[in-house]
Structure 1
Amino acid sequence: MAFTAGAATVDITPVELTALNPIGGTSFAGVHDPIHVRALVLNDGATEVALISAELIECGDMRELRARIEAELGIPAAHVMITATHTHNAPRLGSVSPGALAHGGGAESAAYTGWVFDRILIALRTARDRARPARFGIGAGQAEINVNREVYAEGGWRLGYNLAGPTDPRVWVLRFESLTGDPIAVVANYAVHSTVALWTREVSGDLAGAAMRHVEEAIGGVALFTPGALGDQNPRVSLEGRYGGFGPHGRMPAEAERAFAYAAVDAQGLMLGAEVVRVAAGLGDLQPDARLRAVEEVVPCPVKKGRDVMASMRQAEVDRVDLRLSLILIGDVALAGVSGEVTTTVYRRLAARSPLARTILVSIANDRIGYLPADEAFDRPVHSVNGCPIVRGHAEPAIVDGLSRMIREAV
């Protein structure tokens, strides 16, 4: 059997907006733009894998859904990677794992989760039905729309703009097309929080959603956004960041704030999307064959209590929290998934240690337990450390050593 690829998009815009938003209030006030789940199914004749990207703030414990995918579709749970674009103007999916620092939800959130699970199965079935012999290529570009957000100012650490802090402007791009050149899918990976329109309280795919819409309009097919090492990365322009939320002569009127927010979404989404399109268009000859491999490991880690976190983050009283490491290899390309928000330095160390030059980190993969900073960051009470649920000395080596070993053993 030849290497095949199929992709599909399904709308997951909530109809009932009550009690779905853990950021900035319990309910959404409206819908600015629809949100979607996008699925990509690959098969090399011996191994089948699935990548799912949902326009949501985060995906919690995905074991139930992955077990259902295995039972209903026959794709092994360890071969399924589910992530979120991390748009803060969207609901959360799934339950909070014991020990994790994440936003919980009530009955409304559980009902929405069940509905989205059904929609993801529809997307996967559709993607599989559309699968056809394919070829793929990979490249990297650069987009200067992210900035390190951990800043020391006024005697303490806060979220802001740290132009001297570590950041990764690289954009990874994977392109899949039929043997006759028809578009199937593009997978983009970039390290940025989709928080441009945060506090408008409107459902939106935000920056990542705008970028992927542009890619689909320009190329066709399905465009999946995967979050890179975004744990310490903010967009350069956002409603919250503009003059600290104030205009130069005082607070902006509500309509002016909203107009600014979505203008900034569209502008930065266009910049990121246009770079994805440029890289995808310049890939040249795509390969008509690729061997697939997939594996997962779970690393129990000692729990650290959160500090100065939002009240909606309730951390269970347990001794251990599971850190999930997921790996999908497409030829010599590694999609390395981690169940939290990894920071830039940790990814740099993984990339340096990995036996594959094209190692792409995917944050919030199959769970979201909290921030995962480098060990030396624990010397400072930065946001990513305060929101990390794992004791110093455990998360970084688990990610860097664990994933590089998993890649080495799978190659």
Structure 2
Amino acid sequence: MPSRRDFMGGMGLGALVALGAVPVHAAMAAKPAFRAGSGRADIVFPASQFPIDGFTGQHDPLAVRVLLLDDGTTRLAIVVVDLTSIFDDLITAIKATVTDVAGIAAPNIIVSASHTFSAPHVFAAGQTPPGTDMKANAAAWQAVIQAARQAATRAFAMRQPARLGAGVGTSRVSVNRDVWTPYGWWLGADDAGDTDPTVSVLRIDRLDGRPLAVMTNFAVQSSVMDGSVSSTGGRLMTADLAGAAMRHVEAQYGPDATALFVVGAAGDQAPYLQASRPVVNADGQAGRIDIHEAGFAIVDLLGARLGAQIVDVAGKIRTADMPTLDIRRENIQVASQAFPPRTGRATGPVTTFAYTAGSPVSLPVVLVRIGDLALVGVQPELAAGLGARIRDHSPFAHTMVATMIDGGAKYMPDARSYDRYTYEARSSSFAKGAGEAACAQIAALLKQARPATR
């Protein structure tokens, strides 16, 4: 029987739906003051429905966070949900909820999973993999939609004149997860590997200077508790590293401020420490060493460390009036490979592997301009080096590269990863070179989106 992660990977290319380009809506004349609103709501799972997708309980809350922006001409919403990934039907339902509450059209709404690995997979009816508890899945679906409605309602009620600004800092809570072993490249923690420590922060203030929302983009998977089980054998839901960091930020600014985490190019990045640590045994087989509940101390430690850096960056940002909002949706063409390659999700290190070429595929790209900040959104989990390349070639003063936007499409590694036969390359639906080609095309789109004059 295929695992749930195999089932998710098989749906990756199905998520690459064709989206027509949406024209930019930019204000060219005098307009009302810029307004913003934000809201957060916990996803409440009925106790009677546990276990849900293998989880027997919950350690800390999963949440939906909503940010609404309005420059007088363009209105847009950014929604972040504490799930591993979000499939098309649930994305559609979340967008419909935000449209109903805030009146924002679906093309101007982006939905992102925070990518915690310790959350249930929530499927639409008719798309559930074998063995799914249909009643528990339906309850989880309703819990997510209810939280989305509550968060959007709070954000809509919170709307007010606002100012914003962006800044960057550095954090070392992540590490490259591809390591060399005598049997080939596998998962672990490589201190010498490529990583992107850049923490990008957008701060939105009320007119009195108090933060209304803080949005962070950082290249790390929220996977401290990935695969970890409690000493009694059950798994506990947790928003993991991103959730702990966002709660730290929200605690600094009070209950009326919302902190949103949009995961960056983290396909080959992991938290520096994990509760369930990947290892390769003497016989070359992959295994894990689990410290169980003790791992939540790592979540708290790394979350506080990342959260403190976000607060430090946010505190140095100078906010400004009247930012212009644009949003457009484009499609680029990239090379693919057959997925799952041969036997499906990689299960251990190898020293050779035969990739199977596929047909070119259309990759949706969302470009959001918020003043001097550009948010690039894609579905696949880019390698950190690819995210840094996009940012380095962007003409904007600040650029966030966000993945898991409006769906998921597994990994898009850099070319070297294919030569190393890494987990990401062998589990990808994209061919060698697709990542670099995508970077070049996205850089060109950013140049088109950047106006010649301000």
Structure 1 length as normaliser, TM-score? 0.86
The reply on whether 1:226 has 2:257 as its aligned counterpart is no
Counterpart for residue 208 of structure 2: 180
| Contact 1:89–1:202 (CA under 8 A) maintained in structure 2 | yes
Alignment of 1:123-202 (within 5 A): 123-198=151-226, 199-200=228-229, 201-202=235-236
Distance 1:300 1:409, change over 3 A: closer
The residue number in structure 1 matching 2:276 is 240
Instruction: Note the C-alpha offset of 1:103.
Output: 11
What secondary structure does 1:289 align onto?
coil
Distance 1:311-1:143 versus aligned 2 partners, 3 A rule:
closer
Map 1:351-370; keep pairs closer than 5 Å.
351-370=391-410
- Residue 320 (structure 2) pairs with residue 291 (structure 1): no
What residue number does 1:249 align with?
none
In structure 2, the residue matched to 1:82 is: 111
The question of whether the paired residues in 2 share the 8 Å contact of 1:303 and 1:321 is answered with no
Aligned to 2:141: 113
Aligned to 1:209, the other structure's residue is in SS state helix
Structure 2 equivalent of residue 248 of structure 1: none
Q: Which residue of 1 aligns with 2:389?
A: 349
SS at match of 2:321: coil
Per-residue CA deviations over 1:322-365 (Å, capped at 9, x if unaligned) read 53211111011011111021111211221222222411111101
8 Å contact 1:372–1:396 — kept in the other structure? no
Aligned to 2:55, the other structure's residue is in SS state coil
Q: Distance in 2 between matches of 1:93 and 1:402?
A: 33
Structure 1 residue corresponding to 2:251, chosen from 217, 238, 242:
217
CA distance in structure 2 between the partners assigned to 1:169 and 1:104 by the alignment: 40
Corresponding residue SS for 2:154: helix
Q: 2:296 aligns with which of 253, 259, 262?
A: 262
Question: SS of the counterpart of 2:276?
Answer: coil
Contact 2:337 2:429 in 1 (8 A): yes
How many Å separate the matches in 1 of 2:130 and 2:198? Answer: 29
Contact conserved, 2:187 with 2:278, CA < 8 A, in 1? no
Conservation of the 8 A alpha-carbon contact between 1:20 and 1:91:
yes
Gap change, CA 1:18 and 1:273, over 3 Å in 2: same
Instruction: Provide the rounded CA distance (Å) in 1 between the counterparts of 2:144 and 2:119.
Output: 13
SS in 2 for 1:123: helix
Counterpart code for 2:252: A
Contact 2:415 2:433 in 1 (8 A): yes
Residue 50, structure 1, aligned to residue 77, structure 2: yes
- 1:14 aligns with one of 45, 48, 52: 45
Determine the structure 1 residue equivalent to 2:20.
Answer: none
Instruction: Structure 1: state its 5+ residue gaps.
Output: 22-26, 246-251, 313-317
Once the 2 structures are TM-superposed, how far is the Cα of residue 300 of structure 1 from its aligned partner?
A: 5.9
- Deviation of the 1:65 alpha carbon: 3.7
**TM-aligned CA distance change 1:138 to 1:65, over 3 Å:** same
In structure 2, the CA distance between the partners of 1:165 and 1:309, relative to structure 1 (3 Å rule), is farther
CA distance in 2, matches of 1:367, 1:303: 19
Q: Does 1:409 align with 2:448?
A: yes
Question: Is residue 282 of structure 1 aligned with residue 311 of structure 2?
Answer: no
Cα deviation for residue 66 of structure 1 reads 3.1
Out of 64, 67, 81, the position equivalent to 1:40 is 67
Give, in angstroms, the shift of residue 18 of structure 1. Answer: 4.5
Q: Secondary structure at the match of 2:365?
A: strand
Q: How many corresponding residue pairs?
A: 388
Is 2:428 the counterpart of 1:388?
yes
> Where in structure 2 are there 5+ consecutive unaligned residues?
1-31, 230-234, 282-287, 348-357
SS of equivalent to 1:241: strand
Q: 1:223 to 1:155 in 2, by over 3 A?
A: same
Contact 1:60 1:369 in 2 (8 A): no
Contact 1:55 1:84 in 2 (8 A): yes
- For residues 380 and 122 of structure 2, the distance between their equivalents in structure 1, rounded to whole angstroms, comes to 14
CA contact (8 A) 2:187 2:279 kept: no
Deviation readout 1:288-333 (Å, 9 max, x if unpaired): 2200000112346545223465599xxxxx9676532111110110
- Select 2:121's aligned residue among 76, 79, 92: 92
- Judging changes above 3 Å, is the alpha-carbon distance between structure 1 residues 38 and 105 closer, same or farther for their aligned structure 2 residues? farther
SS at match of 2:65: strand
